[in-house]
Amino acid sequence: MAEAASTDFLVIGAGIVGASCAAFLQREGFSVTLVDRDEPGLGCSFGNAGNFSVGGVAPNALPGLPWRVPRMLANPLHPLHVDWRHFPAALPYFWRFLNNSRRSRVEQIVPALHAILSRVFESYEMLLGAAKMADLIRRNGKLYTYETAEAFAGDQLKYELQDRYGVRREVLDGNAAREMEPALGPSVAKAVFWPDYGWTVSPHRLTTTIVEDFVRRNGILRRDAVRGFEVGPNGPTRVLTAQGSITVDRVVIAAGIWSRELAAELGTTVSMESERGYHLSMPNPGVKFSRTVMSYDRFITITPMEEGLRVSGIGEFAGTRAKPRMELTEKVLHHARILVPGINSEGASRWMGERPSTPDSLPILGRSPRYPNVFFAFGHFGLTLGAVCGRLIGELAAGKPTTIDLKPYRADRF
């Protein structure tokens, strides 16, 4: 096997998180190699909804959820899907997810979410600079729609939690929401506008821009598949790949859902499941949006992007080995047509990605509890946390005080 030149840090995974880790480590003075089996940004980072939900302090698991799950699964149009062949393997994850919906646990999660979300935009600007930030990221808010007053009333815990941290919002009736986004149909009865949220015009270009800058600064980008590790008393000494091996001092695992197996090989079991999401990208949608719109009732997100209008949704638990069920994009389209009656899907492309989902909505971030030369940066739901997690890994590796306390994100919390 051919051996590559040694490197201070090998970052496994060239999505938004791995790219950000590599860039921040490089700026701390380390030599860094970034490796991925695919081109940068072509995994889950490619097809997400592109949102920066900087006030999203409420976790996915909230009180009352266990009682709603049976109705969700019984509704053929609901976006939650479970492949029952995968259910036994995923049961420990589901149990932890439901356990995290207890009010006492939610109260512990919310401050940790706020701490990391409050540094999102400043961290991206540190990587991109003002000009590229303005080119790639829009900060004109997000609209969240409801189709009944009852749905809005039932979602008040989210706003109670946001109020603790001063998350700004405006409550609108349906007509005011349609004045803001005229393409919305009559089903919208109420909406909340978050003026401080944002979105990217291209998740893929955002990632590749960071990688291109990393390479310009003499970072090494290697397209290769990681197969395993050679481990000494203090941790990995070499990373084994399809093309050879790489001698390493330290390793960052930032490979999304695939990080679970890599962490297990290095002695750490984490609770994480692939929550598969689907999108349609419509090049000629026939309607215009000026910001991201998300539907509470339909669990879809609509984002205006460079290639057209992206409509994303679905939460499918089927494991990483199941084939994509592209027919689920028809459910996304069904809901989009109700929310936006004039939408045109002709020529739409369809995509599926593996969201790395943790049961408490927090990332897995920090040093491995087993080996001091291994760092974890995965379990991120969406691209919101990419830059801030890269920044924190850079600080930790350099021996600096981290911007926030990393204890809530430790890998052995489950």
Q: What CATH number has the domain bearing residue 297? A: 3.30.9.10
Q: Residue 311: give the domain boundaries.
A: 66-101+137-197+273-355
* Whether residues 386 and 264 fall in one domain: yes
pLDDT, tens only, 86-102: 999 999 999 999 999 99
350-370 as b/e, with b when 16 or more CB fall inside 10 Å? bbbbbbbbbbbbbbbbbbbee
Selection from 301, 386, 337 nearest residue 119 by Cα:
386
* Whether residues 278 and 245 fall in one domain: no
* Whether residues 166 and 240 fall in one domain: no
Q: Is residue 58 part of a domain?
A: no
How much is the pTM?
Answer: 0.96
pLDDT at 65: 80
* Whether residues 301 and 346 fall in one domain: yes
* Whether residues 381 and 249 fall in one domain: yes
Per-residue 3-state assignment (H helix, E strand, C coil) for 79-129 = CEEECCCCHHHHHHHHHHHHHCCCHHHHHHHHHHHHHHHCCHHHHHHHHHH
For the chain, what is the domain count? 2
Tokens of 309: 């209008």
Higher-pLDDT residue of 381 and 383 is: 383
pLDDT at 49: 93
pLDDT, tens only, 28-67: 999 999 999 999 999 888 989 999 999 999 999 999 887 7
* Whether residues 260 and 277 fall in one domain: no
* Whether residues 296 and 401 fall in one domain: no
pLDDT, tens only, 316-361: 999 999 999 999 999 999 999 999 999 999 999 999 999 999 999 9
Tokens of 238: 């070499």
Counting beta carbons within 10 angstroms of the beta carbon of residue 71, is it exposed (0 to 12), middle (13 to 18) or buried (19 or more)? exposed
pLDDT at 218: 96
* Whether residues 295 and 329 fall in one domain: yes
